[in-house]
Amino acid sequence: MTELDQKELRVLILRDGKPGHETKPNGFVRYLRQAAQIQVSEATIGLPVAAIMRPLLTLIINHFPTILWRRAVLLLYGLSLEHVRPDLVLAAGGKSSFALAACQASKGITGVFLGSARGLRPDRLGWVFATDADGSMDRWVQMPLPPSAHGAVPKAVKREVRAGWGVAEKQKVLAVLVGGDGAGCQYTLKDWTRLAQLVRGFAADESHTILLSTSRRTGSNNEKSLQQLIPNDCLQKAVWFNQFEERCMAEYLAASDAVLVTVDSVSMIAEACSAGFMPLVFSPQSAELPTRVASLITRLESRGMITRLVGDEVILDQNNDIADSQLDRFWQTQIGAVLADLKVL
């Protein structure tokens, strides 16, 4: 056995504070805990003068020897690896990628980046899991979806959460997860009206109800439009995120029978798939998705992991086991590969 076999795996998560980047490392750690004993620490980091530093750091890290920039980049981020050196460093999001490169360049540390390298050499980051990876380099892996911190919950937990919110045992619950402008999507009042009609139609009788949450991307004005379009009696619970921030994803996924999510949020789609759902994906009329996102959505649909929402009603006829099993198998296999690389397995 190696030295690493006989101790806990030390994992450092680099956080950049962006909500969409928070869930990916958490999801990776969820799968990691299933295969190894780990000790997790975190560091919140920021990139000063990002507009200038990003292209400069990309140039330097891609083309210069690590000895010339490793210490300087760690200093820029205020990171020290001297006292407790991690075995594995996780990051997601462009602003944290440069710090990860500096960690990966340090002796005895393996990096894992969850997202597109966006111009950086993937081999500078260690393991890179991205939806746009082409597999042309070792440890550059195309992922179907990012890992999520929320897996499928036992039926007993589902019953407990539903009971806590006053949901009847036989009621059908739809979680509606709303994003907003971004990822090539532009929502108009006509789009919000269509979404509201779907919600009202689903909750037309007492045997069906809605758990709704907006996000920071939705914006206050769009939230106000939705509040006017959707009567309160359609909603078992609503989180208007720009009016009061409340983290409700885990509870919503635990309590629901199906999930509807807007196409602009890959992270929310991933959350739903990881919890065992085949989410219904709602698109605005104006949705010019970036090529990598459009390709991802097409792949997910072809694999039976999502359903594009068409028509004017929500029909619950999906097999919710498909997406979860595919994602679980993928991430369990990749965790095994990373641990083998670390000589843990």
Higher pLDDT, residue 13 or 84 = 13
Q: Give the SS3 label for residue 303.
A: coil
Model confidence at 88: pLDDT above 60: yes
What average pLDDT does range 229-233 have in this prediction?
92
**pLDDT of 270:** 87
pTM above 0.75, yes or no: yes
What average pLDDT does range 27-46 have in this prediction?
93
- Structural domains in the chain, CATH included, are 3-143 (3.40.50), 155-326 (3.40.50.2000)
Model confidence at 38: pLDDT above 80: yes
Q: Give the SS3 label for residue 239.
A: strand
Instruction: Give the confidence band of 2 by pLDDT, cuts at 50, 70, 90.
Output: very low
Model confidence at 27: pLDDT above 50: yes
Rounded to an integer, what distance in angstroms lies between the CA atom of residue 329 and that of residue 303?
Answer: 14
Model confidence at 113: pLDDT above 50: yes
**pLDDT of 223:** 94
Query: Which of the residue ranges 124-128, 265-269, 318-322 would you say has the lowest mean pLDDT?
Result: 318-322
Rounded to an integer, what distance in angstroms lies between the CA atom of residue 293 and that of residue 263?
Answer: 9
Residue 222 main-chain phi, psi, to 5 deg: -70, -35
**pLDDT of 131:** 86
Q: Are 141 and 123 in contact (CB under 8 A)?
A: no
What average pLDDT does range 126-146 have in this prediction?
88
Sign of the Cα pseudo-torsion (58, 64, 65, 70, in order)? negative
**pLDDT of 344:** 66
Q: Are 254 and 131 in contact (CB under 8 A)?
A: no
Q: Are 35 and 65 in contact (CB under 8 A)?
A: no
Residue 246 main-chain phi, psi, to 5 deg: -140, 125
Rg of the chain taking only CA atoms, in angstroms: 21
Q: Are 323 and 306 in contact (CB under 8 A)?
A: yes
